[in-house]
C-alpha cells in the first residue's frame, strides 16, 4: 500500500470513528435526556396525585379528612423540594411539555419554583393544625395557584 493510499485509508477510518463516537455520544445524551424527563414527570405525577384529593376536599367534592389532608400536604411539600432539580439543561429537548423558556428565562422560572416551594411548605404547616376545610382553603389555593401560574408560562398544554 502506498503512503498516499495509507493516508487516505487512515483518514477514512478516523472519520468513521469520529462519526461513530459522535453518534454514541448523541445516543447517550438522548438516553440521559429521556431519563431526566421521565424522572421529572414522575415527580410531578406524585405532586398531582397528592394535590387531587386535597383539591377535592377544598372544593367540598369530598369530605374533609384532616389526617389525610395533612399527609397529602406533607408529601407535596417534600416533593416540592425536589422539583427544581428536575429541570437539568439536558432535559430541554425530548418528549416533554416543558417550554424552552424555562432555560432561557431561568431567573423567572427559579423564582416561580421558589414560590411553589414556599407555598407548599406553608400548606403543610397550616394542615398540621387544621380542624376544618376552612382552615386550609387559603393555603391550598395559594399553593395550587403557583402551579397554575408556572404552567401558564412554562408548560405546553
Predicted TM-score of the model (pTM): 0.80
Chain centroid offset of residue 120 CA = 15
What are the residue ranges spanned by the domains of the chain?
A: 3-154
Superfamily of domain 3-154: Cytochrome c/b562 (1.20.120.10)
pLDDT, tens only, 10-61: 444 344 333 333 333 344 568 999 999 999 999 999 999 999 999 999 999 9
The string of DSSP letters for 126-157 reads HHTT--SGGGTHHHHHHHHHHHHHHHHHHB--
| Cα dihedral sign, 22-27-31-34 | positive
Higher-scoring residue by pLDDT: 136, 24:
136
**Phi-psi domain of 10 (left: phi exceeds 0; alpha: psi -120 through 50; beta: other):** alpha
pLDDT, tens only, 58-112: 999 999 999 999 999 999 999 999 999 999 999 998 999 999 999 999 999 999 9
Higher-scoring residue by pLDDT: 94, 123:
123
pLDDT of residue 58: 97
CA end-to-end span of the chain: 62
Amino acid at each position: 500500500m502506498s503512503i498516499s493510499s495509507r493516508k487516505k485509508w487512515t483518514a477514512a477510518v478516523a472519520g468513521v470513528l469520529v462519526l461513530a463516537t459522535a453518534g454514541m455520544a448523541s445516543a447517550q445524551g438522548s438516553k440521559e435526556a429521556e431519563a431526566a424527563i421521565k424522572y421529572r414527570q414522575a415527580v410531578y405525577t406524585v405532586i398531582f396525585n397528592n394535590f387531587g384529593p386535597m383539591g377535592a376536599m377544598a372544593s367540598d367534592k369530598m369530605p374533609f379528612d384532616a389526617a389525610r389532608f395533612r399527609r397529602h400536604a406533607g408529601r407535596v411539600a417534600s416533593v416540592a423540594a425536589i422539583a427544581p432539580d428536575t429541570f437539568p439543561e439536558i432535559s430541554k429537548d425530548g418528549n416533554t411539555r416543558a417550554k424552552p423558556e424555562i432555560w432561557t428565562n431561568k431567573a423567572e422560572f427559579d423564582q416561580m419554583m421558589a414560590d411553589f416551594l414556599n407555598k407548599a411548605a406553608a400548606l403543610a404547616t397550616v394542615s398540621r393544625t387544621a380542624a376544618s376545610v376552612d382552615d386550609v382553603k387559603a393555603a391550598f389555593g395559594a399553593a395550587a395557584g403557583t402551579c397554575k401560574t408556572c404552567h401558564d408560562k412554562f408548560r405546553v398544554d
